[in-house]
C-alpha cells in the first residue's frame, strides 16, 4: 500500500484534512498526519508528503528526508458551510480567526473571491496581541483559538484540500483512474448542496442571489438551476460557453422559450432522478447530471451540472500517454529474486520449470510479494525471451479505456481516435508475453472478451473489420482470492480455469522469515550502491529482532520502503527501534509499550537455541528439561513448542528422540546466532 504523510500547523486541521484524504483514498493509501505544534518528528519520509500551505512548508522543511516528493496543498472554502455567512447583515464587523495571521488573511481573501464581501473582517491569530474586541467571529475550524471577548462564533469548518490538488495527488501516486471522475462528482455535490440550502433564502433576498451566483461562477463545470416554475434561476459562465448563449438572455425565462437544444430541455423537464447522461451540444459531447431540489417530498426545482467531455478526454489522453511510455521489455531475471529460504527456492524452481511451457500461468500472492518480478523472470527464462513483455494493470486502467488499450482501434472508430488507428497491447505483445496484473479487478463484461481472445488467439480492433491473429503467452496475477470472487459471481469460472493452467503461489514474507534480513541487507547495500558506510549486519543490529517478528502485511515492498526510510533518516548511524515507522511490536509508541509480542518472541528464540544446542551435542531434549533449564513454567513452554511446531521450526518426536530442529528452524538459527 502506498503512503501519504500530511503535515499541518495544528492538530484540528491535521485531523480534518486527514479525514478528507482518508474518505477519498483510505482504501488504497495509508495516510498519517503530523502537526508542527505537536507530534512532528525528524526524518519524515513517504511516497508523498502533502503540506497544508506554503507557510507551513517553510516550517516543515527541516523535518523532511532529503528526497521526499512534496505537494503543497491549495485549499478551498467549504462551499456548503458558508451559507451561514449570507445571513449576517451587511457592514457587520467580525474577527476572522485562524492559526496564523497569514492564513487568516488568506481565508478573508478567499471569502471575498466567493462574494462574501459584506462583512468587515479583522484578521485574528494568537500572534496578534492588539485586535478589536468584537462579539462575532468566523473561523475555519479553529474554535479553541477564538478570544474570550467573542460571544457568537460561526464555524465554517476547516478549508478542504481543493479539487486540483487532489487530482495532482492521484497523479503523483499513479491512482488517477476512476477516482478522478468520482472526485469531481463529489466536489460538485457540495456546491449543489449549497444551492439547495440557500435557495429558499435566495428567493427573498437578491443580495444572496448575487453571492450565490458568484460562487456558482467559480466552479469549473456548467451549472443551470431551475425553480418550480421551470424558470432558469442560475446559469454560470461555463454553461454560457457550452451553449453559446449569454446568461442575461436566460435568467428568469421559461425553459422552452430559450435557445437551448431540445434534447437538453427534454432531459431537464423530464428527469427527476440523479442520473448521468451524454448529450451532444453544438458538436461537443457533454455529460449532464440532474439533481432535483426537494421540499417536503415534492420537487421544487432542479440543478443541472454539465461537464465538457473534451476535458475528460484530455485526462484520459494523459493517462494513455503515461501507459504508452511504459517499457515493453522485462528487466528482471531469476537472479534478481533474492532469498535463501526453502520456500522461495522451491517457488523459483517451479517457476523456472513452467517458464519453458507455452501455457498460461496464474500467479497468486499477497500485495508486494514479487508477482511482477516473477512474471518478468519467467519471460526472460522462456523461449519468448527475445519477444516483448507487456504489462497491463487492471486496477489502474479505467474501464472506459480497457477495450481500446488492449485491443486497439482503427482510424475513425470514435471521436478523438488517432489517424491511422492504434495497435492495442495484445498486438504489441505479439511474439512475447502479456502480463495481466490484478486480473481480479477486470470488469465482468471485459472478462468475456478476454476469454474469447484467449480461446481464439485473435483480436479485432475497435471499429475495425480485420481479424488479427496474435501469438502471446499470458501470465496473469492477482492478490485477490479468485475462488471466493467466483463464488460471489464476480469472476467468471471459465476464465479462471483458462488462466489457472499453471498455478504459481508466491509465499508472503511472514511464511519465510529466514529471508527478512537477507533482503534487508541487500536493499541496504543497494541503496549505497554497494559502498555502505557500515556493514549491513551492524546497521540492523538494534532492530533485527523487530524486523524478524513483524508480520509484513505489505511484504517485500514494505520491507524495501522501510530500509529506504532508515537509510534516509540515519544514513551513518545505527537506527534504534523507536525510529521504525508504523506499528512494530515491542516498541514504545505514544508512551505505551506493546511488549507482549516481543517477550514471546524472545522466549521462542531462547527455546529454539536450546533445542539447537542439544541437537548439536546429540543430547535428547524435551519440554520438561527446557522448562527447568530456562526456569520457565511448563505450561508456557508447551504453548511455545506447539507454536513453533505449527510454524515448522521443530519436530516433536515421541519417546527418547525428543524435540528436533527442522531445516526451517535452522534458517532462523542463522539469524539468532550470527556466524
Ligand atoms: N524476492 C525478491 N527479491 C528482491 N526484491 C523483491 C523480491 N520480491 C519482491 N521484490 C521487490 O519488491 C517490490 C514489489 O514487487 P512486485 O511489484 O513484483 O510485487 P507484486 O506482488 O507484483 O505487488 P502488487 O500485488 O502490489 O502488484 C519490487 O520492488 C520488487 O523488486
Q: Which residues on neighbouring strands pair with residue 650, listed in sequence order?
A: 661
Sequence-separated (6 or more) residues with CB below 8 Å from residue 635:
none
What's residue 314's pLDDT? Answer: 58
pLDDT of residue 273 exceeding 50, the answer is yes
Ligand 1 atom nearest to 338, measured from its CA: 3
What's residue 315's pLDDT? Answer: 56
φ, ψ for residue 172, nearest 5 deg: -60, -40
Ligand 1 pocket, 627 CB below 6 A?
no
Top-confidence range, 123-127, 218-222, 591-595, 598-602: 123-127
What's residue 590's pLDDT? Answer: 45
Where is average pLDDT lowest: 123-127, 268-272, 443-447, 499-503?
268-272
pLDDT of residue 48 exceeding 80, the answer is yes
Our mutation pick for probing the ligand 1 site, out of 175, 333, 373, counting the most ligand atoms within 8 A of Cβ, is 373
Encode pLDDT of 615-671 as tens digits. 988 888 998 888 888 888 888 889 889 988 987 889 998 877 889 998 878 877 766
Ligand 1 atom nearest to 344, measured from its CA: 1
Our mutation pick for probing the ligand 1 site, out of 341, 556, 561, 562, counting the most ligand atoms within 8 A of Cβ, is 556
Count of CA atoms in the C-beta half-sphere (13 A) of 49:
22
pLDDT of residue 423 exceeding 90, the answer is no
What's residue 366's pLDDT? Answer: 93
Encode pLDDT of 360-370 as tens digits. 999 999 999 99
**Atom 28 of ligand 1, residue of closest alpha carbon:** 557
584, 550 Cβ separation under 8 angstroms: yes
* CA 321–ligand 1 middle distance (angstroms): 25
What's residue 16's pLDDT? Answer: 87
Q: What ipTM did this prediction achieve?
A: 0.97
pLDDT of residue 182 exceeding 80, the answer is no
φ, ψ for residue 316, nearest 5 deg: -65, -40
What's residue 321's pLDDT? Answer: 55
pTM: 0.53
223, 251 Cβ separation under 8 angstroms: no
pLDDT level of residue 516 (50, 70, 90 thresholds): very high
Sequence-separated (6 or more) residues with CB below 8 Å from residue 506:
347, 363, 364, 365, 366, 369, 370, 371, 374
Q: How far is CA 537 from the centre of its chain?
A: 34
Encode pLDDT of 20-38 as tens digits. 888 777 777 889 999 988 8
Q: What is the mean pLDDT of residues 546-554?
A: 83
Ligand 1 pocket, 373 CB below 6 A?
yes
pLDDT level of residue 75 (50, 70, 90 thresholds): confident
pLDDT level of residue 218 (50, 70, 90 thresholds): low
* CA 182–ligand 1 middle distance (angstroms): 30
Ligand 1 pocket, 15 CB below 6 A?
no
Lateral strand order in the sheet of 361-364:
389-393, 433-437, 473-478, 361-364, 502-505
What's residue 220's pLDDT? Answer: 62
Ligand 1 pocket, 347 CB below 6 A?
no
pLDDT of residue 214 exceeding 70, the answer is no
pLDDT level of residue 164 (50, 70, 90 thresholds): low
Our mutation pick for probing the ligand 1 site, out of 336, 362, 372, counting the most ligand atoms within 8 A of Cβ, is 372
Ligand 1 pocket, 264 CB below 6 A?
no
**What is d(CA 188, CA 234) in angstroms, rounded to the nearest whole number?**
15
Q: Beta strands 473-478 and 467-469: pairing type? A: unpaired
Task: Cell 507455452: give the residue.
Answer: 358
pLDDT of residue 350 exceeding 60, the answer is yes
Our mutation pick for probing the ligand 1 site, out of 370, 437, 508, counting the most ligand atoms within 8 A of Cβ, is 370
The radius of gyration computed from the CA coordinates of the chain, to the nearest angstrom, equals 31
Give the residue, 508 or 88, on which the prediction is more confident.
508
What proportion of the chain, given as a percentage, has pLDDT over 70? Answer: 80
What's residue 204's pLDDT? Answer: 37
Encode pLDDT of 92-130 as tens digits. 999 999 988 888 888 887 777 666 778 899 999 988 888
Q: Beta strands 502-505 and 75-76: pairing type? A: unpaired
Q: What is the mean pLDDT of residues 368-395?
A: 93
479, 362 Cβ separation under 8 angstroms: no
Encode pLDDT of 146-155 as tens digits. 999 999 999 9
Where helices occur in 67-177 by DSSP H, the ranges are: 101-113, 163-172
pLDDT of residue 13 exceeding 80, the answer is yes
* CA 556–ligand 1 middle distance (angstroms): 6
**Atom 15 of ligand 1, residue of closest alpha carbon:** 370
Give the residue, 410 or 485, on which the prediction is more confident.
485
The residue ranges of DSSP E strands in 524-635, in sequence order, are none
Ligand 1 atom nearest to 559, measured from its CA: 12
**What is d(CA 39, CA 316) in angstroms, rounded to the nearest whole number?**
40
Q: Which residues on neighbouring strands pair with residue 285, listed in sequence order?
A: 280
Amino acid at each position: 500500500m502506498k503512503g501519504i504523510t500530511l503535515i499541518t500547523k495544528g492538530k484540528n486541521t491535521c485531523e480534518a484534512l486527514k479525514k478528507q484524504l482518508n474518505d477519498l483514498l483510505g482504501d488504497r493509501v495509508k495516510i498519517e498526519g503530523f502537526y508542527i505544534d505537536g507530534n512532528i518528528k525528524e526524518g519524515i519520509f513517504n511516497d508523498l508528503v502533502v503540506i497544508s500551505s506554503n507557510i507551513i512548508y517553510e516550517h516543515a522543511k527541516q523535518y523532511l528526508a532529503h528526497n521526499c516528493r512534496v505537494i503543497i496543498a491549495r485549499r478551498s472554502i467549504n462551499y456548503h458551510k458558508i451559507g451561514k455567512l449570507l445571513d449576517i447583515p451587511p457592514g457587520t464587523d467580525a474577527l476572522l480567526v485562524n492559526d496564523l495571521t497569514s492564513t487568516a488573511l488568506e481565508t478573508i481573501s478567499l471569502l471575498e473571491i466567493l462574494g462574501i464581501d459584506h462583512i468587515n473582517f479583522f484578521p485574528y491569530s494568537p500572534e496578534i496581541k492588539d485586535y478589536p474586541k468584537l462579539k462575532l467571529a468566523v473561523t475555519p475550524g479553529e474554535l479553541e483559538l477564538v478570544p474570550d471577548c467573542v460571544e457568537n462564533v460561526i464555524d465554517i469548518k476547516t478549508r478542504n484540500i481543493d479539487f486540483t490538488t487532489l487530482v495532482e495527488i492521484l497523479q503523483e501516486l499513479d491512482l488517477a483512474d476512476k477516482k478522478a471522475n468520482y472526485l469531481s462528482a463529489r466536489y460538485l455535490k457540495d456546491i449543489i448542496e449549497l444551492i439547495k440550502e440557500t435557495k429558499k433564502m435566495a428567493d427573498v433576498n437578491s443580495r444572496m442571489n448575487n453571492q450565490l451566483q458568484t460562487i456558482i461562477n467559480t466552479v469549473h463545470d456548467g451549472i443551470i438551476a431551475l425553480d418550480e416554475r421551470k424558470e432558469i434561476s442560475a446559469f454560470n459562465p461555463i454553461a454560457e460557453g457550452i451553449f453559446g448563449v449569454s446568461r442575461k438572455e436566460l435568467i428568469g425565462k421559461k425553459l422552452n422559450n430559450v435557445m437551448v437544444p431540445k434534447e437538453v430541455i427534454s432531459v431537464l423537464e423530464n428527469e427527476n432522478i440523479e442520473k448521468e447522461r451524454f448529450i451532444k451540444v453544438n458538436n461537443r459531447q457533454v455529460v449532464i447530471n440532474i439533481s432535483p431540489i426537494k421540499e417536503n417530498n415534492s420537487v421544487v426545482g432542479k440543478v443541472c451540472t454539465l461537464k465538457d467531455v473534451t476535458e475528460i478526454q484530455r485526462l484520459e489522453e494523459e493517462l494513455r500517454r503515461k501507459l504508452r511510455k511504459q517499457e515493453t521489455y522485462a528487466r528482471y531475471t531469476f537472479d534478481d529474486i533474492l532469498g535463501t529460504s526453502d520456500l522461495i527456492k522451491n517457488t523459483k524452481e517451479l517457476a523456472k520449470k513452467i517458464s519453458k511451457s507455452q501455457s498460461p500461468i496464474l500467479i497468486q500472492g499477497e500485495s508486494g510479494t514479487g508477482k511482477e518480478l516473477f512474471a518478468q523472470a519467467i519471460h526472460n527464462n522462456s523461449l519468448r525471451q527475445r519477444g516483448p513483455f507487456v504489462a497491463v494493470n487492471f486496477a489502474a486502467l479505467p474501464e472506459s479505456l480497457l477495450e481500446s488499450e488492449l485491443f486497439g482501434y482503427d482510424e475513425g472508430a470514435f471521436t478523438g481516435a488517432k489517424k491511422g488507428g492504434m495497435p492495442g497491447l495484445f498486438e504489441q505483445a505479439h511474439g512475447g508475453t502479456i502480463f495481466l496484473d490484478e486480473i481480479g479487478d477486470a470488469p465482468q463484461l471485459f472478462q468475456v472478451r478476454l476469454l474469447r481472445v484467449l480461446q481464439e488467439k485473435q483480436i479485432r480492433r475497435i471499429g475495425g473489420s480485420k481479424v488479427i491473429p496474435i501469438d502471446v503467452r499470458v501470465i496473469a496475477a492477482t492478490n485477490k482470492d479468485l475462488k471466493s470472487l467466483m463464488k460471489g459471481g464476480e469472476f467468471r469460472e471459465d476464465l479462471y480455469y483458462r488462466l489457472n493452467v499453471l498455478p504459481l503461489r508466491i509465499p508472503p514474507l511472514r511464511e519465510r522469515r529466514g529471508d527478512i534480513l537477507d533482503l534487508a541487507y541487500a536493499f541496504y547495500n543497494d541503496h549505497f550502491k554497494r559502498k555502505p558506510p557500515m556493514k549491513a549486519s551492524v546497521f540492523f543490529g538494534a532492530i533485527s529482532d523487530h524486523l524478524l517478528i513483524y508480520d509484513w502485511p505489505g511484504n517485500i515492498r514494505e520491507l524495501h520502503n522501510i530500509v529506504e526510510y532508515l537509510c534516509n533518516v540515519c544514513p551513518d548511524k545505527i537506527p534504534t527501534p523507536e525510529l521504525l515507522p508504523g506499528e512494530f511490536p515491542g516498541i514504545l509508541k505514544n508512551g505505551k509499550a506493546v511488549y507482549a509480542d516481543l517477550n514471546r518472541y524472545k522466549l521462542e528464540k531462547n527455546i529454539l537455541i536450546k533445542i539447537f544446542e542439544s541437537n548439536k551435542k546429540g543430547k535428547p531434549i524435551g519440554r520438561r528439561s527446557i522448562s527447568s533449564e530456562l526456569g520457565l513454567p511448563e505450561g508456557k513452554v508447551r504453548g511455545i513448542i506447539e507454536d513453533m511446531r505449527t510454524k515448522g521450526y521443530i519436530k516433536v518426536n515421541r519417546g527418547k528422540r525428543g524435540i528436533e530442529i527442522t531445516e526451517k528452524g535452522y534458517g532462523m538459527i542463522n539469524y539468532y546466532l550470527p556466524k
